[in-house]
Structure 1
Amino acid sequence: MAESDVPLPYRALHATHGGIWIASSDGEIRESGRGEAIAAAAETPMIVLNAPMTGQRLGYSELSGLDLLELFAFVHPARFTVPTPTGIARTLGLPVPEDDEDAAMLLLDAAKHLLDTLSWKDWGEREGAWTSAQSLFRLRWPWAAAVAERIEKPKQAERWLFSRLPEWEDQPPRPAPQTLTMDEHQTVDRLETLVGEDAERREGQRDYARAAAQSFNPRPAPGKPNMLIAEAGTGIGKTLGYLAPASLWAEQADGAVWLSTYTKALQRQLDRETERIFPDPVERREKVVVRKGRENYLCLLNLEDALQGGFAGRAAILAQLVARWAAYSKDGDMVGGDLPGWLTTLFRRAGATALTDRRGECVFAGCPHYRKCFIERSSRAAENADLVIANHALVMIMAERRREDSAALTRIVFDEGHHLFDAADSTFSAALTGQEAIELRRWIIGPEGKHRGRRRGLSARLMDVASYDEAGGEAIEAANAAAAALPGDSWLGRIAEGIPLGPIEKLLAAVRATVYSRASAQDAGYGLETEAAELDGALIAAVGAASEALESLHRPLAILRQRLEAVLEDAPDWLDSQARARIEGAMMGLTLRGQMIASWIALLARLGGPADPDFVDWLAIDRYEGREYDIGLHRHWLDPTKPLADTVIKPAHGLIVTSATLKGGEDWDAAETRAGAQHLDFAPDRFDAPSPFDYGANSEVLIVTDVKKGDLAALAGAYAKLIEAANGGTLGLFTAIARLKAVHARIADRLARNGLPLFSQHVDPIDTGTLIDIFRDDPHASLLGTDALRDGVDVPGHSLRLVLLETVPWPRPTVLHAARKLANGGNAYVDRVVRARLAQAFGRLIRRTDDKGMFVLLSAATPSRLLTAFPEGTPVARVPLDEAVARVAARLSSVTDFGQQVTKPKPVETK
């Protein structure tokens, strides 16, 4: 395994906000200016780490070269690494660079190490590499020549991706779980096994497990599940607290427990925690399944199409690297799974979405890879698993579909329960938009004009049915004719030019005109919306015509589904297993789209008539940076926990709704409102365990009183001073992307020159999950972001020691928010929303006993009534910026972690 001493014939380019360095294979490292670096990179390809981000640092977006991350993805598919010089060094076992100058040389050393790996006899990811390298060579991948010359041609043909993947097997339906009452002592014993013998005994966690166990007992009556609403403060150990009784019940009752989360980060954490229950990886794959929506998984048929010429240029290279990953992937999950989050961003997402089933175009058993499909394998594995880790939206959808089924979801744990309201709000809403309508048209009619792809319409997918069943064939023809009324290609441009075609486009044109006539100037640049009330005659007329068109489409689709059901019952000679599965898939698609069209018809029926007190309707134009990308009508439940209670809670046998911030600084009424308990005719059980952390000693909240609202220069200066005072380790949260970008632009270079790297959502060309990985890995880094970071960051330890908020996170004054505010107590409702957001943001700060941190709010006008959002005993002070900086420096400038001092790095000298 000795590495070659022959140097690589390349140079490496490393660029940060603090400077640019070029390293040569002879050991020379020199600092460079932007112009020189760009010219050098254009003349001779250089080794870079993350070409899009390097190009952004240089101000040269077209930068290309030998991207070290692409080479890593080829050599070690499905293996994690933080995509920084330090992260790569740790993953490969190389010396960690001490500064940016060393980082430039590390790129050369890492490239040499990866290329040498290709010659190792014990290289674990060898299979398929030679075949993939030949394809990449033909595609002119920059690394192809260096890779191909180092991989020895195998003596026998390689098992390539589609022959390597295992097939799933059908299994008989799982019987209903056994009825049993949980034993308290067994529950505590299971908990002690999970936490380990050396762990500190936590009575709060034991009490939590006992309370959670009651939810798995037999329910007293239909519609009255055993329901627990539990707030368990950070540090209680609620994850293992509910995993103990959940795993015990699943084992003894032979049933499935659905563990539902809101963020992908917690899904990954739960997956890791289950290793304590099932340490054997083979058993664990059978007992624990992570379930997500279809759009998260690699579609093998789409991948095959891409590999056979469906993709060109950089997208084709991405497809080859994804194929390498798929051969070693645990489950084919492209979003939050073991596909590196940074991989698709290296290609500016060219082709990444086309590799998943985002358009409902699956042909099920008609696919040659059906028996190896990642999606089908995950779905079937979940049927016999003990623990199914899913997200709130999927659990709600599955519960609604299966409520009368033998595979109904009887036991559910909703972790991150403070997000249950938001998840239900999204799941049970309806939206008739141009983008949704054109997707429906393509699903029915198939490809038209320049629209490419392997998609087929109903006529092509059900050709055999049409020829066999006359009524079914007529329904397909009628559906195709009716679908012509839906928006077609270039619909948005036609509406903007005032020449809409068809009743739906004309409706959307009328919606657009109404929104622009009523929208306020302050909304310029962002999405626009207006209440669906007091509508004019032109819009009402367009609504009538659109409703008729949708009715004309809904009828043949309903008839077609009935005819397909009849074909399955008659079972003609040509109906083999593949045809049956294909028809069943079409029936599922028809059901889902029939429900969607019915919701559109119901939405339109309300316009122009009396308001429905249960719903909120509005018209909207979706825009990004002033550019329109969708137009439509929207309907949301005023209280989305009402359908949640009817479709999810009442049919279940036992539920747990839990969170560290379930009450959000309020009382139990607020928690039960978020959980939908007000719609139940029984009272759920409650459990409350405050955090064991000493917030008074280890944290502090500062409200800065002298940063003027709207002064971007002052805001940026405050962020810079506070980040410097904390020596990095800062999570900066914004309520507006424009302010985030403005602050980042003003302070990134300044911080980098002081050895404090700054990363940002909406600025850095990399996915949010990877940004969090980078932030977690570097105690001197800081991260700016918006709502997704307020709720989805779990960074224990010294890497996160300061949380900064630019202002009080008031809700945006949308139509929906205004309606809910009016119905729920006015400003008191607004305060509840804000307290919950503050509680969630503060919850990012102290994640374990020895954490220390500060929370700074740059808003002098913060009302005192909101401060109950913070844990009891947390010191709160209103101070000017200079004093806040001094306090942060005194508490955080040197923070110890496991006895190691975090010292301020030496400032980088720049020319």
Structure 2
Amino acid sequence: MSTKHQPANHYQTLVQENYRRLSKNLPGFIPRREQNYLVAEMGKVLLGQYDKARRILVAEAGTGIGKSLAYLQAGIPWAKANQKKVVISTATLALQEQLVDKDLPLFLPYSKPSFRFALAKGRARYCCARRLADLAGGTSQGQMFDVGSFESTLSAPLTATQQTQLAELWQAYQDQSWKGDRDSWPSPIDQALWQQLQAERHSCQPMLGHQHCPFHQARAELEHADVIVVNHALLLADLSMGGGIVLPEPEQCLYILDEAHHIATVAREQGSIRLNLRQLRRSLEQFNKWQGKLNDLLGVDGQSAIGRLQHSSAQLIPALTQVYQTLFSALQRQELTTDEQGCLRFNTGDLPCGLDERLSIVKEDSQTFCRALGPINTQLADQLKLNPSQAPAIEAALAIISQQQLQGEQIRDGATLLLRAPGPKQTPPARWLALDKKDHQDIMLCATPLAVGHLLEQWCWSRASAVVMMSATLTALNDFGYFRRAVGLRQDDGSHYIRLNSPFNYAEAQLIIPDLACEPSHPDFNDLLTTQIPIWLKNQAASLVLFSSYRQMQHVAASLRAQGYSLLVQGEASRQALLRLHKDKCDGKQPSILFGTGSFSEGLDLPNHYLTNLIITKLPFAVPTSPVEEAMAEWITLCGGNPFMQLALPEASRKLIQACGRLLRTETDTGRIVLLDKRLVSKRYGPALLQALPPFNKQLHGKTVKSEV
């Protein structure tokens, strides 16, 4: 991570002068001690004052500190002075929009030196210019070049409404009033239509010279940007491929990972595989039939390469068939049985039904298949230069070859992960079989790496110029250990950690834990909620009730509506529509009650009079029902640990802090939180969960408890 850096004095002067301009000229600017401290600590890390070889800061910054403005003040001058790019990665679209539409434009006029910023989005957010032209002309690529089922454009005919919207998109693209970005179109684009238009990796290659393609034009703009805003998924996809594919090389970047508590989960998803055996086999069979068309494009010189490709796909198809038939027969004979969700997890021991041997053959054959595609791709690219008149057919063939390359790599990587034998201290992947919910003859083999810290270290921490990770919830039970282990950091590796409390006056807000008759595990708990919740809704203007499950929420909603309550329930309208109705009722001085599940516990911003009464029905303990959670718990147990204490409790602590964070959103907010879970008082772990919460005015079973700050 070492690199040459500008003198500290120059950098500090830039930061101080920018702050003076901000404070003097920004309307309503409020100096915040915690924000200034965050800027200072980030500066020390960037200057190498804590560790010159490892510039990594992990900062838990409570709500209201203004962390985005802090990291812009500290990060941009340092990056500009050292010829680096600032890459700001977030988990949610809401924060991306806030950065691009509000925070960056707000800071730009007061920043010296000046900077350019851009939003990086996934390929699927842009249309493919060639697909748009083909479809507008009434012909899909598949129909033009007879490529069978390899293009997603071979779907149902367009409806009249879709044809009208297509004509509008094509006209706007032609007259350059629309640049092909889905998010910039003023009205929602029909999803089925967009699937036929969107850019895809296998049909969008640099060798085709699509310099006017919306996706490539957007990527070209990134080269001129000093600050790039991206989401965690796109960032980790780029890093997993070695970096420098879409975003700049890690060595050229200062990464600011906002909402960093999501990083490990997104990295795990990035490394996951899902092999639909029957679908993959069908695709390969269709590709095998199509390969004869390559003779017309490559001629005599391509016969040798075409022969090797045909042989390799002819080997891979029966290998996949063997795996499928083995599992299908075992399921039919009930030697293997799935759960209610159609899943069967394989434990940390051997794979069932002799899958090890069969998957080893699949792995070897898929490697051979991928190697055979390489020369075909090269020869087609050469033909494109030699025979421009055949460009449409060659482009279609290149798209198909590229798609098959991706599919071959997917099969190879999937087999590798499923076969991976962990070392003495390595965590094995979660591995399971899943049946398609609609068609139980579709069998999927799935695998997910459980430990991704070493991947993050390899992809980013050890290579980046500097890394700043931030969130309002990085600690669990008042400790960074849970987060540190998840992302692959060590306590002694030179990374710097800070915690900054929110400036909000938590003592003005109440946290109430009533004396209830039973715990959530009791069969009468749902009925208890139908009597308790109305007690805590009485005389309240703006309420949010958070539930642990949809079923529980719907049970209580039905009961309260029967009692005459008017409710806004998650799932009955879009999130945006529900929040708009809630705010309208609050503005109109009408009582409003929002019902939501776990997804309403994060990212929901209801300041001032829009939320004064928060009811949490149950502690957010995750039930380990997914194959990934079960595998993690199993591995911890095998290692002599306690899954509840090492996994469930820290995660519940983090989620509880997030849920409680919905109440106070500004420095003047007030209200109360009612927690209808007596385990906070009755269980031994209760005090630890309470102590990790902000210093609310706590009332436990009617008794006031003084909080430690």
- Aligned residue identity for 2:506: Y
Greater relative contact order, per chain length (Cα 8 Å cut-off, separation 6+): 2
Aligned partner of 2:506 in structure 1 is 695
**Deviation digits for residues 298-351 of structure 1 (CA, Å, limit 9, x no counterpart):** 4455555665564225554665677699889987554xx45679x46xx7x555
Aligned partner of 2:6 in structure 1 is 180
What's the offset of the Cα at 1:733?
A: 2.9
SS of 1:242's equivalent in the other structure is helix
Choose the corresponding residue for 1:401, options 241, 247, 257: 241
* Equivalent pair of 2:347/2:631 in contact (CA under 8 Å): no
Aligned partner of 1:651 in structure 2 is 463
Change (3 A) 1:876 1:439: farther
**Does residue 797 of the first structure (1) align with residue 608 of the second (2)?**
yes
What's the offset of the Cα at 1:631?
A: 3.9
What's the offset of the Cα at 1:241?
A: 0.5
**Does residue 601 of the first structure (1) align with residue 419 of the second (2)?**
no
Alignment of 1:41-190 (within 5 A): 179-181=5-7, 183-190=11-18
Give distance in 2, aligned partners of 1:775 and 1:302: 42
**Does residue 208 of the first structure (1) align with residue 20 of the second (2)?**
no
Aligned partner of 1:758 in structure 2 is 568
**Deviation digits for residues 173-216 of structure 1 (CA, Å, limit 9, x no counterpart):** xxx99842452232233245456264111121111112223444
* Equivalent pair of 1:662/1:671 in contact (CA under 8 Å): yes
What's the offset of the Cα at 1:859?
A: 2.2
Alignment of 1:622-641 (within 5 A): 631-641=443-453
- Bigger drift between 465-474 and 412-421 goes to 465-474
Give distance in 2, aligned partners of 1:408 and 1:570: 32
- Aligned residue identity for 1:255: K
Choose the corresponding residue for 1:530, options 345, 356, 377: 345
Change (3 A) 1:613 1:684: closer
Aligned partner of 2:649 in structure 1 is 831
* Equivalent pair of 2:291/2:306 in contact (CA under 8 Å): no
**Deviation digits for residues 372-429 of structure 1 (CA, Å, limit 9, x no counterpart):** 4332233222232111111222212212334488941221011111112212221223
Give distance in 2, aligned partners of 1:659 and 1:516: 47
* Equivalent pair of 2:306/2:376 in contact (CA under 8 Å): no
Give distance in 2, aligned partners of 1:846 and 1:693: 7
Alignment of 1:414-813 (within 5 A): 414-434=257-277, 438=279, 442=283, 445=286, 464=297, 468-478=301-311, 480-482=313-315, 484-485=317-318, 502-509=321-328, 517=336, 524=340, 526=341, 528-532=343-347, 539-540=353-354, 542-562=355-375, 564-565=377-378, 573-574=386-387, 592-606=406-420, 613-621=426-434, 631-678=443-490, 682-702=493-513, 705-706=516-517, 709=520, 710-711=523-524, 712-719=526-533, 722-723=536-537, 725-730=539-544, 732-747=545-560, 756-761=566-571, 763-764=572-573, 766=574, 768=575, 771-772=578-579, 775=582, 779=586, 781-813=592-624
**Structure 2-normalised TM-score?**
0.78
Alignment of 1:267-282 (within 5 A): 267-272=96-101, 273-278=103-108
What's the offset of the Cα at 1:795?
A: 3.3
* Equivalent pair of 1:229/1:685 in contact (CA under 8 Å): yes
**Does residue 849 of the first structure (1) align with residue 667 of the second (2)?**
yes
What's the offset of the Cα at 1:691?
A: 0.9
Give distance in 2, aligned partners of 1:430 and 1:698: 46
- Aligned residue identity for 2:461: I
Aligned partner of 2:91 in structure 1 is 262
Instruction: Give the number of aligned pairs.
Output: 655
- Bigger drift between 793-802 and 262-271 goes to 793-802
What's the offset of the Cα at 1:843?
A: 2.0
What's the offset of the Cα at 1:353?
A: 4.3
* Equivalent pair of 2:274/2:447 in contact (CA under 8 Å): yes
Aligned partner of 1:871 in structure 2 is 693
Root mean square deviation of aligned Cα: 4.5
- Bigger drift between 254-263 and 777-786 goes to 777-786
Choose the corresponding residue for 1:386, options 226, 241, 250: 226
Choose the corresponding residue for 2:62, options 233, 241, 247: 233
* Equivalent pair of 2:550/2:597 in contact (CA under 8 Å): yes
Give distance in 1, aligned partners of 2:410 and 2:198: 22
* Equivalent pair of 1:214/1:226 in contact (CA under 8 Å): no
What's the offset of the Cα at 1:799?
A: 2.1
* Equivalent pair of 1:204/1:689 in contact (CA under 8 Å): yes
- Aligned residue identity for 2:71: Y
Give distance in 2, aligned partners of 1:257 and 1:831: 35
**Structure 1-normalised TM-score?**
0.62
- Bigger drift between 574-583 and 413-422 goes to 574-583
SS of 1:240's equivalent in the other structure is helix
SS of 1:856's equivalent in the other structure is strand
Give distance in 1, aligned partners of 2:287 and 2:329: 27
- Aligned residue identity for 2:344: E
* Equivalent pair of 2:92/2:231 in contact (CA under 8 Å): yes
Give distance in 2, aligned partners of 1:773 and 1:508: 50
Aligned partner of 1:134 in structure 2 is none
* Equivalent pair of 1:695/1:871 in contact (CA under 8 Å): no
Aligned partner of 1:95 in structure 2 is none
Give distance in 1, aligned partners of 2:462 and 2:351: 42
Change (3 A) 1:226 1:545: same
Change (3 A) 1:322 1:685: same
Alignment of 1:814-825 (within 5 A): 814=625, 815-819=630-634, 821-822=636-637, 823=639, 825=642
**Deviation digits for residues 649-701 of structure 1 (CA, Å, limit 9, x no counterpart):** 111110001111111342133342344212x8722012221111111113434
**Deviation digits for residues 732-775 of structure 1 (CA, Å, limit 9, x no counterpart):** 33332333333344445766xx6x550313x43x4x45555655
* Equivalent pair of 2:427/2:635 in contact (CA under 8 Å): no
Identity of aligned residues (%): 18
Give distance in 2, aligned partners of 1:421 and 1:279: 35
Change (3 A) 1:595 1:519: closer
Aligned partner of 1:152 in structure 2 is none
SS of 2:275's equivalent in the other structure is strand
Change (3 A) 1:595 1:265: same
* Equivalent pair of 1:331/1:378 in contact (CA under 8 Å): no
Alignment of 1:273-422 (within 5 A): 273-278=103-108, 287-303=116-132, 307=136, 310-312=157-159, 315-316=162-163, 319=166, 334=182, 337-338=183-184, 343=188, 350-351=192-193, 353-357=195-199, 360-364=201-205, 370-403=210-243, 407-409=248-250, 410-422=253-265
**Deviation digits for residues 198-255 of structure 1 (CA, Å, limit 9, x no counterpart):** 4111121111112223444479999x43101111111111111101122223443443
What's the offset of the Cα at 1:291?
A: 1.8
Give distance in 2, aligned partners of 1:598 and 1:811: 33
- Aligned residue identity for 1:853: G
SS of 2:415's equivalent in the other structure is helix
Change (3 A) 1:231 1:181: farther
SS of 2:430's equivalent in the other structure is strand
What are the ranges of 5 or more consecutive residues in structure 2 without an aligned counterpart? 139-156, 705-709
Change (3 A) 1:404 1:380: closer
- Aligned residue identity for 2:68: T
